[in-house]
Structure 1
Amino acid sequence: EILNSSLVWNHSVTITGLSSGKTYYYNITSCDEAGNCNESGVFSFTTSSSESGGTSDGSSGGGERGSNITACSKIWNKIVSGTEAVMNITREDIGIREIVIKVKKDVRYPKLTVSKLSDIPTKTPLPEGIPYQYLQINNIGLNEDVLEEVNITFRVEKTWINENNLTRDSIKLFRFLDEKWEWKALETWHEREDNTYVYYAAKSPGFSYFVITGINETKEKICENGEKRCYGKEMQECNGTGWVTIKKCEYKCNETTLSCENRSLIVSGTGVCKSGETKCEGKSIMECIEGEWKVKKVCEYGCLNGSCVSKPETEDLSWAFVLGLVAVLGVLVYFGFVRK
């Protein structure tokens, strides 16, 4: 490692002791007074058969580029326990935009380096979903035993989400677990969006290789997250994967207002009625019971103002008249036969 601590715009480093006809790999890290650093990525050059030394000013020298496409770093003089340390990533081609960490104990001269990779390391298993970007976060002095909390903010282009038939909620950040040799999905949530990007945040227990992916959900959605419905006397809400009961109504769940109705005023299929209210329908007395009109009593002679009417007097007179008329006709017929 060659260190030039001068805070100047241009650096020039002379490298000596090189072997002839050999390929050398290098990267350049440049930092400002605040400890914000950027890395060039990995470059290479090959010495000629007669060359014993060379000079590098940060150009690639025509060599091949490694898997680190772009990278940036940050060095802190000290991170105090219980305080937040923030690393902002300004390089536009790196999906991670911010890393916020808390430590369990004071750490002096810690360093983070975030690199965008062209691919995952050889023989590493493929992560789930459609990869958007491979990343690596290296650290000095920030191992899991000193980390209390790590929050990573990243972004994904809207055009990429649409082109891959994904949804906003299908984006996940995966971290590679070296000890298990597998990828683990981190807790990821949507934060905001602008005209070009959708921004997310994720919690991680530490640093390693990462991949931003989109999980293509092929399952048909049962319901939309937050949607509500009435299911009998239960009010239910969709949690994104299915229906869950959020409230049990004592009397009835109103499918129009998606709320519980109380006993005194319940909407029924024929209108609004109050419990205990009565009305007439034909010869029947109807009573409102739990929001529904039910037959309370069938009247023999009719119903009026919610009560049965008594036997009408005109009916008795009409029967007497009919009987009298029959008697008169009988007498006339009798005397007619006698005269003959």
Structure 2
Amino acid sequence: MVYLNGAFVTNTSGSSVNYYNATGLTEGLTYSIGLHTVDTSGNINSTWVNDSATTPIPSDITPPASVTDLGETDVGPTWINWTWTNPTAADFSHVMVYLNGIFVTNTSGSSVNYYNATGLTEGLTYSIGLHTVDTSGNINSTWVNDSATTVKLPKVFGLSGTNITISSITLIWGASSDTFRVEIFRDNILIGDVRGVTTYVDSNLSSSTKYSYTLIPYTVNGLEGKAVSISLTTASPSSGSGGGGGSSTSKTSSGGGGGGAGSAEDFTNVVMKDVDTEYLAMNTNVTYEFTREGNPIQSVSFYSLKNSGQITSTIEVLHNRSKLVKSSPEGLIYKHVNIWVGKSGFATAANIKDATVRFRVTGSWLEEMGVNPADVRLQRYNGNAWEVLPTTMESNTTSYAIFESRTPGFSPFAITAEKAVVASVDDETAEGPIMPGDVGVEETQSERSGIWTFMLAILIIGTLAVGYAYLKKRQN
């Protein structure tokens, strides 16, 4: 029977075992072992046989110093390069590297003083953390940290053609808020460099001819985004103009990420588009913000349930009711808008929850229509009918009233308001209301009066007939 520091720990496995190896001890401490022997009949020798021993203290228990001068030296859309200065101690071995709190690697030796993180997502912030280790395995527990953000490239998305005629093609697209200018190439020849617009008319073309267009966005600092391309064909002389682009054929490749939303809305009904792209990580709150003039939607927010990567949200402000709905909502209409998040089928309960839409209504419209801001509602078309969403007013000034609504999904929406209707009273109804009972009474009285008049006439005629017969009999 084996005891350690007076506490029973085990029995040896047989008469031939003559050792015990105590493990998991603390360095520099003294431990005492005590033994009792036992025979096959279970008789225990009560005499203790004891011994004590002290665990050794390693000769080197001091960790190395931390690295210094940690910082990013170069940053791109998908990578960040960090460098630092290693400690100068002779027993320094290597550096443990963590990215966003997760261990990724050990440097290959004491002379390596950099780490290049690759495969990152543009426009996101990443944090590096370092521990130093010496040749004895001592780890410096002090963190040395630094954060850096990958470059966010400007984007062009939703490139398409419209108003295609026998001699011209109109290009339309959306652009991220950091896009300063866009270069336009036709068949690899630069034909335009536009700023502040998202349309371009290419004229003096040949009929029935296919043209390839490429658009490249740039920031104000000259940072180049990914090119987006499309192929379009001018109309044939027999078909005339293509109107909304029906005679074109196109194949696009967008630099807007894999989470872009496509819309089936009629282009002629779209006043403007506003787009934002965000990175959706698991169990995080996400907010898309929209700032284009003329867009009443200020933000779209929800809780992301999955790591979905970069997902794009698109706002389409419409002239009239969306062609995707079959009826009009009730109430006064302020704006019709389409709100899309990701591709079709993405914005489901499996991917997101607690979605809200923040929007604003101008004070001039509320005043003109005689609407109380408390009567403003956001309505959503659910595929079969319009549903009024829970809407709360966040603020109200002379310029704008700001509202927030909870929504179960994304589709065509309408910003509406209820308006009380005051009925006018004309001369015919000024005397007072007509009660339903009065009508029945009036009809009954009229019917009874007619019956009594008829009976009285019969009685008078009968009396006259009898009197006439009596007088004639007397004369005879």
Question: 1:40, CA displacement in angstroms?
Answer: 6.8
Aligned to 1:131: 333
Q: Which residue identity does 1:212 align to in structure 2?
A: I
**Residues 53, 8 of structure 1: alpha-carbon distance in 2 compared, 3 angstrom cutoff:** same
Do the aligned residues in 2 keep the contact of 1:20 with 1:48 (CA within 8 Å)?
Answer: no
CA distance in 2, matches of 1:193, 1:101: 24
Partner of 2:448: none
Q: CA deviation at 1:194?
A: 2.4
Cα distance in 2 for partners of 1:127, 1:117 equals 15
- Please provide the CA RMSD for this pair: 4.1
The C-alpha deviation readout for 1:127-158, integer Å capped at 9, x for no partner, is 11011001001221541222211111111111
- How do 1:241-320 and structure 2 match up within 5 A? none
| Partner secondary structure for residue 66 of structure 1 | helix
Aligned length: 202
The 1-side partners of 2:197 and 2:387 are apart by: 29
Give 1:212 shift: 0.3
In structure 2, distance between residues paired with 1:139 and 1:186: 18
2:174 is the alignment partner of 1:29? yes
Aligned equivalent of 2:276, options 58, 66, 74: 74
Tell me the distance in 2 between the aligned counterparts of 1:50 and 1:41.
Answer: 25
- 1:49 maps onto 2:207 in alignment: yes
One-letter amino acid of the structure 2 residue matched with residue 49 of structure 1: S
Distance 2:199 2:328 in 1: 24
**1:87-98 equivalence runs, <5 A:** 87-98=288-299
- 1:28-50 CA distance string (max 9 Å, x none): 2323689xxxx977888786426
Structure 1 residues 147, 131: CA separation in 2 closer, same or farther (over 3 Å shift)?
A: same
Q: Take 2:338 and 2:155, find their aligned partners in 1: how far apart are those partners?
A: 28
Q: Against the structure 1 CA distance between its residues 184 and 8, is the aligned structure 2 distance closer, same or farther, given a 3 Å change threshold?
A: closer
Q: Distance in 2 between matches of 1:138 and 1:27?
A: 19
Verify the 8 A CA contact 2:170 2:200 in the aligned structure 1: yes
Question: Aligned residues: percent identity?
Answer: 18
The alignment status of 1:144 with 2:289, answered yes or no, reads no
Residues 104-138 of structure 1, C-alpha deviation per residue, up to 9 Å, x if partnerless? Answer: 23322222111101112346201110110010012
2-structure distance, mates of 1:41, 1:125: 31
The 3 A distance-change label for structure 1 pair 137 and 26 is farther
Q: 1:165 aligns with which of 363, 370, 376?
A: 370
Corresponding residue for residue 264 of structure 1: none
Aligned-pair distance for 1:21? 3.5
Query: CA–CA distance in 1 between the matches of 2:362 and 2:201?
Result: 32
The reply on whether 1:198 has 2:343 as its aligned counterpart is: no
Aligned residue for 2:301?
Answer: 100
| Distance (whole Å) between structure 2 residues aligned to residue 44 and residue 127 of structure 1 | 36
Match of 2:319 among 105, 109, 118: 118
- Measured at CA, do residues 174 and 42 of structure 1 come closer, stay the same or move farther in structure 2, by a change above 3 Å? farther
**Equivalents in 1 of 2:405, 2:313: separation in Å?**
17
Once residues 177 and 360 of structure 2 are traced to their aligned partners in structure 1, the CA distance between those partners, rounded to angstroms, is 26
TM-score normalised per structure 1: 0.50
Question: Does the alignment pair 1:215 with 2:426?
Answer: no
Q: Aligned in 2, Cα 1:7/1:189: closer, same or farther, shift over 3 Å? A: closer
Residues 42 and 202 from structure 1, CA distance in 2 versus in 1: closer, same or farther, beyond 3 angstroms?
A: farther
Task: Write the deviation string for residues 2-57 of structure 1: whole angstroms up to 9, x where unpaired.
Answer: xxx9988899xx99xxx9849867532323689xxxx9778887864264426576
Structure 1: stretches of 5+ with no match in the other structure:
221-340
Q: More strand by proportion, 1 or 2?
A: 1
CA distance change for structure 1 residues 208 and 50 in 2, over 3 Å: closer, same or farther?
Answer: closer
Within 1, Cα distance between the matches of 2:408 and 2:374?
A: 22
**SS, match of residue 291 in structure 2:** coil
Aligned with 1:85 (options 278, 286, 301): 286
8 Å contact kept, 1:20–1:50? no
* Cα distance change on mapping 1:7 and 1:29 into 2, 3 Å: farther
Q: Structure 2, unaligned stretches of length 5 or more?
A: 1-121, 123-150, 180-195, 217-240, 245-266, 424-476
Moved more, 22-31 or 149-158: 22-31
Change in Cα spacing, 1:30 to 1:150, as seen in structure 2 (3 Å) is same
Cα distance in 2 for partners of 1:127, 1:186 equals: 12
Find 1:187's aligned residue among 390, 399, 405: 390
Q: Residues 23, 215 of structure 1: CA spacing in aligned structure 2 closer, same or farther, 3 A cutoff? A: farther
Contact (CA 8 Å) 1:90, 1:97: kept in 2 or not? Answer: yes
Distance change (3 Å), C-alpha of 1:20 and 1:159? closer
Give 2:106's aligned residue: none
Counterpart of 2:225 in structure 1 is: none
CA distance in 1, matches of 2:317, 2:380: 14
Distance 1:33 1:190, change over 3 A: closer
Give the CA deviation at 1:166.
Answer: 1.2
Q: Are the counterparts in 2 of residues 42 and 66 from structure 1 also a CA contact under 8 Å? A: no
What letter matches 1:192 in structure 2?
Answer: S
CA offsets 1:269-290 (integer angstroms, 9 cap, x no match):
xxxxxxxxxxxxxxxxxxxxxx
Closer/same/farther in 2, CA of residues 72 and 54 from structure 1, 3 Å limit: same
Classify the secondary structure of the residue corresponding to 2:268: coil
1:176–1:209 Cα contact (<8 Å) kept: yes
Which AA in structure 2 matches 1:143? A
